[in-house]
Structure 1
Amino acid sequence: MACKKKLLIYAHYYVPDTASTGQILKELAEGMLDTFDITVICVVPSYLGTIEDKYKTQKYYEEEINGVKVLRVRVPEFSKANKMSRIKNILGYFFGAMTATFKVGKQDYVLSVSQPPILGGLLGVWGKWVKKAKYIYQIQDFNPEQVMAVGYSKNKMIIKAMMFFDKFSCKHSDLVIIVGRDLVETLENRFPNGKAPKSTLINNWIDETEIYPLPQNHDKVLAFKKKYGLEGKFVIMYSGNIGLYYDLENLLKVIEKFKPGTRTADGREVIFAFVGAGSVLDKLVLYAKDHHMDNVVFIPYQPKEDLIYSLNAGDVHWCVNAKGIKGVSCPSKYYGLAAAGKPVLGVLEEGSEVRYLIEDTKGGFCSEPGDYDHVERHIRWFIEHAGSEEVVEMGQRGHKYLMEHLTRDKSVSKYAKEILGC
């Protein structure tokens, strides 16, 4: 039997961290073990900022997870609200991963992700040079376009340098893998006159064996609802990173128009649930408290094995991006919502990948970011039609399309084929 080719993956986060890219890379790596001998270089578990004591004594930690070799880099703890501590943490990973590259032996292919911004791509170039390997750059988010879209930095020199380095990473790749139709346009706009590097579109996915529709009377769905005061309520849920790129502070002001005690057509009290953590969570909690928004609840991140129950506890789910994110980032949370068979309240720019998916399947309603009156009308529609077949069928259509086109096996087999062919 021929020896399998060796593939090195640079992943800022990897399981058990709850970052969506870390989860996707776990499923990708484990799904390609029949084709490749895979090593992942990532940080010690630290997505929420804290690090267990067992990961504080060495520079590197080796382990194996379900057949994937994992080399972890120790990094400093950080606070998501403190920009400088985050930068130190990210640089700790970047330089640690560069050194770790010398520890993993010969590699035939190197795959890196666009996280952390700019540095993820540069790590891939580094791995290509050190290992004399083919380099595949998977772009989940384009930067500095994302930084510019949300105003995270307005320093023109920094933005110009970021663009130079990320274009450098693209140019030195043997293949760029992009996760949305609108992101393809962004790559082509970076390199006009047909000079864009070789690229291919492969959608993100969800493991449909881990997330799927459950009946509302399922014991663990009921237990989740009881724990967080959602029993008997109509739950409009946001699940994921409560961060900068989602305009959640302004959406909370839209939610404020729906006073505590608002009831649906079928008599249920309306509750808005935010599940997760992130840099704007404290602001949202404070705003809701100051404005006596007793119909808003904040729920901690759920372990991956419990995500199926929390997603099924929502009647309708938000999938949102701030204005300017079209062509820059693709919210992978959509795939989990479709897998759970839930209708989607999209706040997404026209022409963005996930908006295409929602509108093509008639799996929910979409508004433009910033069009808060339109968002309010869609919330009212769901409240007025709660419990109807119309709402149920929305979720079913999204789930049907996902099962036919967006399963893990379909996307992972495309990755293996494209990597071997680059």
Structure 2
Amino acid sequence: MVEKMKTEKKKLLIYAHYYSPDVASTGQILKELAEGMLHAFDITIICVVPSYTGKIAADYKTKMFYKEEINGVKIFRIRVPEFSKTKKISRIKNILTYFIGAIFATFKVGKMDYVYSISQPPILGGLIGVWGKWMKHAKYIYNIQDFNPEQTLAVGYSKNKLILNAMMWLDKFSCKRADKVIVVGRDMMKTLQDRFRSKMVPTHVFINNWIDEKEIYPLLADNEKVLAFKKKYGLENKFIIMYSGNIGLYYDLENLIHVLKKFKERNDVAFAFVGEGSILDNLVLYKDKYDLKNVTFIPYQDKSELVYSLNAGDVHWCINAKGIKGVSVPSKLYGIIAAGKPILGVLEEGSEARLIIDETKCGYVTEPGNYEEVEAIIERFLNEKGTTTPIEMGERGRAYLVENLTKDVSIRKYIEEIKSCE
């Protein structure tokens, strides 16, 4: 009995908002993190029913809560209303339902030693973690994937000073109540320090996000499934410049698509957008208005198919809007370099993603808003197609990832940092 008590794993509660099979990048990261930490902790997830696209399957519409287990991880799902990503009220209702549901779900999951939450949904992700800490008398780890209200302010989603000040006060409150804050970029460490003006800064550490390099990896151009993907979406015999990920507010895509109009007569290039998001309809309308025949929109790809869609691109966009430096790190970066593809970066100098690209020389980068330079970079890639330059870029990025950004490296750091809170 004594030996059993010695070896019993500590219990870790994770508030995830989205979790697999949802295709949200944070949901995929948290799945890999949870499963990777199972040897160290007994893990329970509190999240919503699969609903990232806004739609909910009939199987998840009959009860308030659903208990599942996936690969050894216990999952407690909350039913939320369906929503539209283009309608603020609809999204807010969905998010608040998750928040309230998570409060009640906390009572149903038993004793916990650690509570871990991420900064999604904005502000509420941190607050639900504080709630879990108090209710479970546990150590609290707050993982900031995106700083808010800084992100909200950067993209102009709200300019109401009263709301923004309240958001800042609440998220600083969550940071102060955390036993440890984990950020995902070197630039984000400075943002946290600036929030507290370098006084009484919460205990914090930087750990990169990652990609599973065994699931996403370079494939030959004549791979059967890569060719099938190109054929399905009319991309055969084209030089493909691809954007893969959330087509949302934080990437300046509504301005960048104006640059693509300048290449509308080029039959040898295709601009492929893979994913969904709040501004997708606006991009489709622009394409139709200007008859951009070489612009293609493709739905989200299942995780099992992602290796083929990423490999179909010859060059990949990695983008953040101006003001996102120190606020967020585009997770799509890791998938691009895992697939060994060169990057067309539109990123602020000193941001985490740009630091990696500059250090590895795995792409060409310019500042957000510099649309003339974006056009010049596209021309440069088109001039270099068929040469060894883009291949060597991709190889450098892949080599850096294998050395520094693998799942095993980051998960080991997470385990160490969580246990150090004891």
TM-score range, shorter chain: over 0.9
**1:260, 1:274 → 2: CA distance?**
18
1:64 pairs with 2:96: no
Which amino acid in the other structure matches residue 109 of structure 1? Answer: Y
1:202 pairs with 2:201: no
**1:196, 1:356 → 2: CA distance?**
24
Matching residue of 1:404: 403
Alignment counterpart, residue 221 of structure 1, candidates 226, 231, 254: 226
Alignment counterpart, residue 174 of structure 1, candidates 162, 176, 179: 179
**2:256, 2:270 → 1: CA distance?**
14
**2:212, 2:20 → 1: CA distance?**
15
Matching residue of 1:377: 376
- Identity score, percent: 68
Matching residue of 2:345: 346
Please list the CA deviations of residues 218-258 of structure 1 after superposition, one character each: whole Å capped at 9, or x if unmatched: 11101000000011110000000000000001110011111
Matching residue of 1:23: 28
1:318 pairs with 2:317: yes
For structure 2, list consecutive stretches of 5 or more residues without a partner in the other structure.
Answer: none
The CA deviation at 1:209 is 1.1
Which runs of at least 4 in structure 1 moved beyond 6 Å after TM superposition? none
Matching residue of 1:265: none
**2:229, 2:269 → 1: CA distance?**
17
For the residue of structure 1 that corresponds to 2:107, the secondary structure is helix
TM-score if structure 1 supplies the norm length?
A: 0.98
**1:333, 1:108 → 2: CA distance?**
33
1:11 pairs with 2:16: yes
1:306 pairs with 2:305: yes
**1:260, 1:229 → 2: CA distance?**
17
**1:373, 1:184 → 2: CA distance?**
32
**2:297, 2:197 → 1: CA distance?**
45
Aligned CA-pair RMSD: 0.6
Which amino acid in the other structure matches residue 277 of structure 1? Answer: E
Matching residue of 1:117: 122
Which amino acid in the other structure matches residue 396 of structure 1? Answer: E
For the residue of structure 1 that corresponds to 2:287, the secondary structure is helix
Matching residue of 2:289: 290
For structure 1, list consecutive stretches of 5 or more residues without a partner in the other structure.
Answer: 263-268
Q: How many pairs are equivalent?
A: 416
**2:239, 2:387 → 1: CA distance?**
12
**1:154, 1:421 → 2: CA distance?**
39
Matching residue of 2:387: 388
**2:63, 2:265 → 1: CA distance?**
51
TM-score if structure 2 supplies the norm length?
A: 0.98
**2:245, 2:130 → 1: CA distance?**
30
Matching residue of 2:149: 144
Pick which of 177-186 and 190-199 moved more. Answer: 190-199
Matching residue of 1:41: 46
Matching residue of 1:266: none
**1:3, 1:272 → 2: CA distance?**
53
**1:304, 1:282 → 2: CA distance?**
24
Which amino acid in the other structure matches residue 340 of structure 1? Answer: A
Which amino acid in the other structure matches residue 366 of structure 1? Answer: V
Matching residue of 2:134: 129
The CA deviation at 1:193 is 3.5
Matching residue of 1:329: 328
The CA deviation at 1:129 is 0.1
Which amino acid in the other structure matches residue 112 of structure 1? Answer: S
